[in-house]
Structure 1
Amino acid sequence: MMLITPLDAAFLISETREHPMHVGALLLFEQPDGAGSDFVGDLYRRLLTWDRVGPLFRRRPATPGPLIGAMRWYDDQDVDLDYHVRLSALPRPGSTRELLTLVSRLHGTLLDRHRPLWEFHLIEGLADSRFAVYFKVHHALVDGVNSTRQISQMLSAEPTAPLPPPIWAERNPAGSPSSIAVKRSIGRQLANAVGEIPSVLHSIGEAVGLTPTLARLLADGLRRDDTALPFQAPKSMLNVPLSGARRYAAQSWSFQRMRAVGKAHGATLNDVLLAMCSGALRRYLLDADALPGESLVAAIPVALPVDRDTDGGNAVTMVLCSLATDIDDPHERLRRIHTSMLAAKNVMAGRSALQISLFGLATATGPTAANLLPGFAGRARPAFNLVISNVPGPRSTLYWNGARAVGWYPVSIPTEGNAVNITVVSYADNIEFGLIGCRRSIPHLQRLLDDLEHSLRELESAPPSSQQGRRPATATRRDV
C-alpha cells in the first residue's frame, strides 16, 4: 500500500455526492476513410485485450470512507475492465448537443471507491462518421498536466501507426510483478522519509523566508487594484452552494487569433485567454442583471517546477488574478489582467517549488477550505469567484487507430462556492475550451460560448494605437 500525499488526500476528503472530484477529457475523432460500420465496436473489443493494468489505474482507497480512505492507496490486482471501459451509442445521427448532454450526465456521477478511480467511455453514433471518447479519473490520481500527458501517450503522430496501448495499460509488462513494485514503493517512501529528515529545517527556513513576501503582497493588495488577495472577490451568482448535477459546454478557438491579439497588446496567450473569459463573464452577468460592481477574481492553477513521473498525483498550486470585470473597455481589461498576472509571476520568480506551493496554499488553495464549513459558501465573501485553467497540450494533429483527433476538450470540476470552472487545452492549431458548471445554479451555461466569441472580437476590433488601420484576424471559432 502507498501513502496518499496531503494534497491528493484533500481531493478525496472534500468529495461528497454534490461535489464529485474527478477530472476528465472529451476527445472527438473522425473515422479513417474506408472504415467499416463496426469500426468503433472493433476498436472497443481490441481495447479490452489490454488487461494488464498499470499501477496508477489499479489504485483505490484502502477503505471507501472519505477520511480514513484518504490515508493510503490499495493496489487492486483484479481490475474489471468490462466495468471501467464502456461502449455507448447515441441515437444516429447523434448531435453535438446530445453528446454534451451525455458527458454532463456522466461527469455528475461519483466514481466507485470500491474500484480504481477511473472510467473510459467510447461513444459511437455521432453524425459525419465521428465518434468520441470521454475519460474521467479522480483528481487524487492526476492533475491536468499529468492527465494530458497520459492521453497523448495513447495517440500517434501518424495515421498509419499501430494502435498504441490505451491509457490504463501497463507500460512495462515485462517488469517486476506489481506486488514487488508496491513493496518497493513503500520502501522508497520510508527511505525518502528517513533521508529527508535533515532537510526539514531547510524546508522550515524556506517557509519562514516566504513571510516577508506575503506581507508585501498584502500591502500591495490593499494599495493597488491589480493585486488580488483572498476574500477580496465580490459575492456573485457564481459563488453559491452546488447541487450534484452538471452542465457541460465546449468549443474551439483558433490559436492564431488569440496569439495575434496578444502580439498587438504586448500580452501573453494566457493573458488573452483570461481577457476572453473576463469579457464573456461580464456579458453573461450583465444579461442576468447580476454583474458585481467590483472585479471578479480568478484562481489560476500553476504547475510546480518538479520532475514528473508515471506515479501520477498532483504537482500544482494556484495564484489569484483580478479579471477587471468592472472595466467596460476590453483593451483596458486586458492591460489590467496582464498587470495582475505579472504581479503574481513576480512573487513566484526565483522561488522553490515548496515556496510556490506554500504561497498558493496561503493565498488561494487554503482559503477555499472555508467553503467546506456548513453555510459558509454564499454568505461570506468568496476566496475567489472561479477557477480558470490553461493546460498545455500537443501542438500537432494526433491519431488513434487511424482516426484523426479533431477535438480535445477538458472537463474539470466546479467546487463548493465556485459554481463554474473554465479549463482550456491547447491542441494542434486550436485552443479548446471546456466549461463545466452546476446545472441548477448557472442557467444556460452554453451562452458563455457565444459570449467568449464576442469577447474575442472585442479584443480584435477597435485596436490600440499600434494597431490602427489593421484588419482583425479572419479565422473563426470551430464548434464541437
Structure 2
Amino acid sequence: MVELISPPDAIFLVNESREHPMHVGSLQLFQPPEDAGPDFARTIHEQMLAIPVSKRVFRKRPGTVFGGISNLTWSYDAEVDLDYHLRRAALPSPGRVRELLDLTSRLHSSLLDRHRPLWEQRLIEGLNDGRLAVYTKVHHALIDGVAAQRLLQRTLSTDPYADDVRVPWSLADQGGHGPGSSLAGRATGALRGLGRLAPSTMRLAKQAFAEHRLTLPFDAPDSMFNVPIGGARRCAAQSWPLARIRAVQAAAGVTVNDVVLTMCSAALRAYLLEHDALPDRSLIAMVPVSLRREGAGEASGNAVGTILCNLGTDLSDAAERLRAVSASMSEGKRLFAQMPKVEALAVSALMIAPLGLSSVPGFVAMTRPPFNIVISNVPGPREPMYWNGARLDGNYPMSIVLDGQALNITVTSNAGNLDFGVVGCRRSVPHLQRILRHLEEGLAELEHVTA
C-alpha cells in the first residue's frame, strides 16, 4: 500500500534547500553519575546500537514513484543502519561549551540524507567538565519541534538509579505528532486553511483586527533579522535559574513569559545597538500562547493562539520595556478570549500564514516583515530528569530559521531552570553568541528596577 505524503509535510520537503534545512534539533547536556567510569559514553553507545528501530517514524524517508518522482509518497526501510544515524563525536581541546556549540552549529547546518530515514543523533564527549552531550535532529516532515521535545523527554526518567537506556526510535506511539503543534507546521496548515475559509469568516478576521486593536502582520519595522538567509547556522544556548525570573515576575506583577520576552527585548536592543542597526520603532515578536480557558479540558480542542507582541525595543528604560511587553501580551490574550472560536481561529491563521510564504521567490524582498522574530516558550519537565543515571543539566531546543526570519529564540523549562536555545543565520546574524550575554544583562536590569 502506497502512503501519500500529506500536503503540509510535502511543503517542508519541497521547500528544503541548502539555504533552508528543514529539520528541528535539540541539544541535551548530561552530568554522568559519580560512579561513571571513563567508558560511560562508549557503553551507552553500544547499548543504544543494540536496540532495533521499531518506531515507524524513524524508518521513514521520501520514496519515488513513476520512475523517479519524489516528495509524493513515503517509503519505510525494513533495516535501518544505526551505525550511520547514531554516532559518537569528540570535542577538540580545550573542550569548552564554546567548542560544543560550534560543533552543534555545524551539525544543525547540514542537510539530512533523503536516501535514509530523516534523522540523526550524536553522542558528544570531550567536555572539560566531564559532561556528556546529545544532539538530535529530525526532519520537520516527520515530526514537529514540540513533539520532538516531548519524545526526547520520554527517554528520560525521574529515577536517578534507573539504568535502562531508552531511545526515541523504540518508544511506543502516544497519539499523533502531526504538524499542527509547532509554529512552522501550523503556518503550512494555515495557508491551506485560509483558502477554505468562508468569506464570512474572513470578514470576521478583518473585523477582529479593526475592532479589537490587534497588532497587524506586516506592520513591523525593517531590521537586520528580516533578510534572505544562507545555509550556515550559528547556535547558542544557556540556562537561567527560574527562581531569578520568578522573583522579577512577583515583584512586577507580570507573568513569567512577560519577563522572558523582556529579557529577549533587552538582548535584541543591545545587539542591534552594537551593529548600529536598531530601528526607530519597536520590534514585533510572534509569540505562540495557550488560550485555553480556565477549567477547559482536553476535549476543548486546539487552544493555541499567536500574538504579535510589541517588544518595546525603542525604549531605553527596562521598567518601561517590561510594562510595554506585559501590556501588549495582556491585551492580546484578553482580546482573543473575547472572540468567538471561529473568529479566533481565523485571526490566528492570518497571523501565522506569512511564515509559510517566506519561501516564495521574491516574497521577503517585496514585502515588509510580518514580524521581526519568533520567540517560543515550550513546556518542559518540572522535576530533575535522568538518562541511564546521568542528570539532565540542559535541554536546548534548536529551531528552524527562514528567509525573512534569520533569528529564532526558543525557551523550555527544565526542572529549576529555563533553557534558551538561539539559532541564527551565520551570515546575517554575526557573533550571535553575544545575545546570551545581553540576555543576562537584560535580566540583571530587570532585577535592579524591581528590587
**Range class of TM-score, shorter chain:** 0.7 to 0.9
Does structure 2 conserve the Cα–Cα contact (< 8 Å) formed by 1:304 and 1:356?
no
2:131 alignment partner in structure 1: 130
Matches within 5 A, 1:51-450: 51-63=52-64, 69-171=70-172, 208-209=200-201, 211-221=203-213, 227-302=214-289, 318-349=306-337, 356-364=344-352, 366-450=353-437
2:188 alignment partner in structure 1: none
1:233 deviates by: 0.7
1:95 deviates by: 1.1
Aligned residue identity for 1:161: A
Aligned Cα RMSD in Å? 2.8
Does structure 2 conserve the Cα–Cα contact (< 8 Å) formed by 1:304 and 1:357?
no
Aligned residue identity for 2:437: D
Rounded to whole Å, the distance in 2 between the matches of 1:125 and 1:53 is 31
Aligned residue identity for 1:458: E
Residue deviations 1:397-438, cap 9 Å, x none? 111111111111111111111111001111010000111111
Change (3 A) 1:360 1:7: farther
Q: TM-score, normalised by structure 2?
A: 0.86
Residue deviations 1:339-361, cap 9 Å, x none? 22223323443778876554332
1:39 deviates by: 0.9
1:102 deviates by: 0.2
Change (3 A) 1:399 1:168: same
Rounded to whole Å, the distance in 2 between the matches of 1:301 and 1:139 is 18
1:378 deviates by: 4.3
Q: Secondary structure at the match of 1:91?
A: coil
Residue deviations 1:101-120, cap 9 Å, x none? 00000000111122221111
Q: Secondary structure at the match of 1:263?
A: helix
Segments of structure 2 that go 5 or more residues without pairing to the other structure are 174-192
Change (3 A) 1:281 1:368: same
Does structure 1 conserve the Cα–Cα contact (< 8 Å) formed by 2:208 and 2:343?
no
Rounded to whole Å, the distance in 1 between the matches of 2:347 and 2:156 is 36
Relative to structure 2, which stretch is displaced further, 68-77 or 298-307?
298-307
Rounded to whole Å, the distance in 2 between the matches of 1:283 and 1:361 is 32
Does structure 2 conserve the Cα–Cα contact (< 8 Å) formed by 1:316 and 1:357?
no
Residue deviations 1:7-64, cap 9 Å, x none? 3333223221101111111111112112121110110010011113302222222349
2:51 alignment partner in structure 1: 50
1:22 alignment partner in structure 2: 23
Aligned residue identity for 1:19: H
Q: Secondary structure at the match of 1:459?
A: helix
Aligned residue identity for 2:329: M
Change (3 A) 1:355 1:38: farther
Aligned length: 422
Change (3 A) 1:204 1:213: closer
Residue deviations 1:119-170, cap 9 Å, x none? 1111111112211000011122223321221111111111111324201114
Instruction: Report the identity percentage.
Output: 50
Q: TM-score, normalised by structure 1?
A: 0.81
Does structure 1 conserve the Cα–Cα contact (< 8 Å) formed by 2:241 and 2:416?
yes
Does structure 2 conserve the Cα–Cα contact (< 8 Å) formed by 1:26 and 1:408?
yes
Does structure 2 conserve the Cα–Cα contact (< 8 Å) formed by 1:239 and 1:378?
no
Aligned residue identity for 1:450: R
Q: Secondary structure at the match of 2:204?
A: helix
Does structure 2 conserve the Cα–Cα contact (< 8 Å) formed by 1:143 and 1:316?
no
Does structure 2 conserve the Cα–Cα contact (< 8 Å) formed by 1:156 and 1:164?
no
Residue deviations 1:68-94, cap 9 Å, x none? 744443333222211111111113551
Rounded to whole Å, the distance in 1 between the matches of 2:354 and 2:207 is 17
Does structure 2 conserve the Cα–Cα contact (< 8 Å) formed by 1:246 and 1:438?
yes
Aligned residue identity for 1:59: K
Q: Secondary structure at the match of 1:37?
A: coil
Q: Secondary structure at the match of 1:135?
A: strand
Rounded to whole Å, the distance in 2 between the matches of 1:52 and 1:89 is 25
Residue deviations 1:303-361, cap 9 Å, x none? 697969xxxxx997643212121122222222221222223323443778876554332
Rounded to whole Å, the distance in 1 between the matches of 2:253 and 2:139 is 38
Segments of structure 1 that go 5 or more residues without pairing to the other structure are 173-199, 222-226, 309-313, 464-470, 472-480
Relative to structure 2, which stretch is displaced further, 410-419 or 345-354?
345-354
Aligned residue identity for 1:417: G
Q: Secondary structure at the match of 2:269?
A: helix
Rounded to whole Å, the distance in 1 between the matches of 2:74 and 2:258 is 38
